[in-house]
Amino acid sequence: MLETKTSDSLLRNNVNFPTFSDLPHEYHVDPTYYVEGPYRIVPRQHWCFLGEIVGSYGLFRVLLRVKDKCGQVVTIGLYTDDRGHTLTPQIKPGHTVAVLYGEQHSFLDMTVGIRVEEPSIIKIIPCSLEQLLKASDDVAACNSNTQSRCCGSCGKEENTSHNTHLLLCSRCKQTSYCGEACQKQAWVDGHKADCKALVWVQWCAARNWGVFDGYFNF
C-alpha cells in the first residue's frame, strides 16, 4: 500500500476547503478570507465548501440538504436565474456539491446554509465526499511517492527490467493497470466513480488556493 500523507492532502485543508462552521459569515468581514482593499473588500485566498447530498426539497427553487466534512447538515439554496432546475438531473443522494466562496447564511425557513446566486460557483461531483477525500489523499501520496507503481486492480508491480509496463488510465492519468483486463475489471469494481473524483481533485490541485488573483469558476 502507498503511504498516505494526509497533511499534504488538499481537500483536508480546513482553510481552503472549510466545513460550514469555518466559512465566513455573510455579515462579517472574516480576516482569514477577506482583506480590505483601497476601494472594496476582496478575498485574500480561495475557498470551496464541500457537502454530500442527503436530500433536496423545494418546488419553486432547488434547496439541497448536504452533510459537510464534520457531519453537519446544512441547506444550499439555489438563487440562480434558473432556480437550480438545470442541476436537477445531477442531484443524487451520495454525490457531492462543491460551492466556491460560500458564506454562512440564515434562510427564512430557519435552516442555515449557503445561498448560491451564480451558476459558475456550484458543481455536483458524481461521487461521495469520502471518495473525494480519498482521491485527494491519493493525489498527495502520488506527488510525494518515488516507489514503483502497481496495477490498480491485481497489485502487480511495474518492473521495467522484466518488461512489465503499466497502462495509465487515460482519464485520470493517476491509476495504472498491468493490462486491459485489469483496467476493465477495476472500472466495474468502482474506478468509474474514483476516476471522476481524481479528475476533480487534479483540477483543484492545479490551482493555487493560497493567493487570490481573480475568482475561480467551475
Residue span binding Zn ion (CB under 5 A) among the ranges 16-24, 63-71, 93-101, 150-158 = 150-158
Task: List the one residue from 66, 98, 172, 197 that touches Zn ion (CB under 5 A).
Answer: 172
Does position 149 bind Zn ion by CB under 5 A?
Answer: no
Does position 135 bind Zn ion by CB under 5 A?
Answer: no
Q: List all residues 6 or more positions away from 135 whose beta carbon is below 8 Å from its beta carbon.
A: 11, 127, 194, 197, 198, 200, 201
Cβ atoms of residues 13 and 152 within 8 Å: no
Distance of alpha carbon 2 from alpha carbon 101, whole angstroms: 33
Question: Which residue number, 114 or 197, has a Cβ lying nearer to Zn ion?
Answer: 197
Q: At what angle do helices 192-205 and 129-144 cross, to 10 degrees?
A: 60
Task: List the one residue from 12, 91, 171, 209 that touches Zn ion (CB under 5 A).
Answer: 171
Q: List all residues 6 or more positions away from 196 whose beta carbon is below 8 Å from its beta carbon.
A: 125, 126, 127
Residue span binding Zn ion (CB under 5 A) among the ranges 99-107, 110-118, 131-139, 154-162 = 154-162
Residue span binding Zn ion (CB under 5 A) among the ranges 3-11, 62-70, 100-108, 165-173 = 165-173
Question: Which residue number, 78 or 169, has a Cβ lying nearer to Zn ion?
Answer: 169
